[in-house]
Structure 1
Amino acid sequence: MGGDGVFASARRVVTREIEASLTRVEEEEARALIAATTECQRVFVLGAGRSKLAVDGFAMRLTHLGLTAHVATNVTTPAIAPGDLLIVCSGSGETPGVVAITRQAIRAGARVAVVTATPDSALAAQADLVVRLREYGEDHQLSASTQFVGTLFEQAAFVFFDCLVMVMQRTVGATAEDMFARHTNLE
């Protein structure tokens, strides 16, 4: 029942590719991002397209952890300042609007962390710290992913951020009850 069909085959491909991408994340890069996130005054997140969805979900969980988090492009987002951290999620690291907003954050004195598949990108060059989620090979050719370009990065980013939340939950001492109490009640 359902084990050998086309959906099961696709499911295996997707989950294997995400696992392969996440196992290549450098532990030191992940730890540096956790430290920067938990030690800053406020966290701002930025991305475009499906990368934005992944990093926006992370901002939600940071709020549940009791941290102050904002989505950079929301109309209610306050001014970024020294002591703040901007976390940028971009597979290519070259999205023009994202690069421009990142430059504004740097001019305002904020630190910048970039989660990207492209460590030699414009965004990575501006960052205080970079986490590489590999979707591309070392020669920047597309990886062996059978999914549409960018899809693996976006999936891996969402799961990567959830892994960080699990670690940070222990780091900040937030219980599931604490997190649930901060969950929206306007649903």
Structure 2
Amino acid sequence: MGVDGPYASARRVVLRELDALLRHVEEDVCADLMAALRDADRVFVAGAGRSKLSAEGFAMRLMHMGLSVHVAGDSTTPAIGPGDVLLACSGSGETPTVLVMAESAARSGARIAAVTADVDSRLAQRADLLVHLGEYSQDHEPGRSGQFVGTLFEQGALLFFDSLILASEQLWETEPQAMLARHTNLE
């Protein structure tokens, strides 16, 4: 104990970078996104790789809150249309499958909410709502991270989504028991 090894040093970098990233997300952007999701007929989430995993976790929690939610690409996903929102999560904002889904959803009349690290990406340009999760170093230096490329975005997306759920539980006065009643019993 007491020796500050590589794990402790790495942990500090990760936590400081996540704090720097999440501090830059504006409160009104969060409120607009959650209002759009709450008011949608249905919410669809899309992503690829680890970004998809973050989005799928968010979809689960939205379902627990009582929203009608689908993961794009699943075999039971219905057609998207007017009144629906596609939440597309892509660090680069250029992931081909995510771009195709966003274009298809837009042509079908759905709104697009994008969570991305690149505000100049095609996904960001296509979005009706945009959440920017840019990379920051532990010293709050924009555009820099000590972690492998994309890692900070994916971690940040997961924590951003979990923060939105906790805030929404409080704002919407969601009963934990109601959420628990929607939790799967097929485990």
TM-score by length of 1: 0.93
Distance 1:21 1:3, change over 3 A: farther
Q: Which residue of 2 aligns with 1:125?
A: 125
Summarize deviations over 1:26-68 as a string: whole Å, max 9, x none. Answer: 2221111111111111100000011000010000000000111
> What secondary structure is seen at the aligned counterpart in 2 of 1:16?
helix
Q: Which residue of 1 aligns with 2:150?
A: 150
Distance 1:182 1:3, change over 3 A: farther
TM-aligned CA deviation for residue 136 of structure 1: 6.5
TM-aligned CA deviation for residue 2 of structure 1: 6.4
* RMSD (CA atoms): 1.7
Distance 1:3 1:89, change over 3 A: farther
Summarize deviations over 1:128-169 as a string: whole Å, max 9, x none. Answer: 1101001179xxxx8321100000000000000001101221
Whole-Å separation in 2 of the counterparts to 1:3 and 1:98 = 45
Whole-Å separation in 1 of the counterparts to 2:185 and 2:15 = 32
Distance 1:60 1:3, change over 3 A: farther
Whole-Å separation in 2 of the counterparts to 1:68 and 1:2 = 49
Summarize deviations over 1:66-88 as a string: whole Å, max 9, x none. Answer: 11110011010111110000000
Asked if residue 44 in structure 1 is aligned to residue 41 in structure 2, the reply is: no
Structure 1 segments of 4+ aligned residues over 2 angstroms from their partners? 170-173
Q: Could you tell which deviates more after superposition, 33-42 or 2-11?
A: 2-11
Asked if residue 171 in structure 1 is aligned to residue 171 in structure 2, the reply is: yes
Q: Which residue of 2 aligns with 1:56?
A: 56
Distance 1:2 1:83, change over 3 A: farther
TM-score by length of 2: 0.93
Whole-Å separation in 1 of the counterparts to 2:14 and 2:3 = 15
Q: Which residue of 2 aligns with 1:134?
A: 134
Whole-Å separation in 1 of the counterparts to 2:182 and 2:171 = 17
8 Å CA contact retained: 1:2, 1:8: no
Q: Which runs of 5+ in 1 are unaligned?
A: none
TM-aligned CA deviation for residue 172 of structure 1: 3.2
8 Å CA contact retained: 1:117, 1:136: no
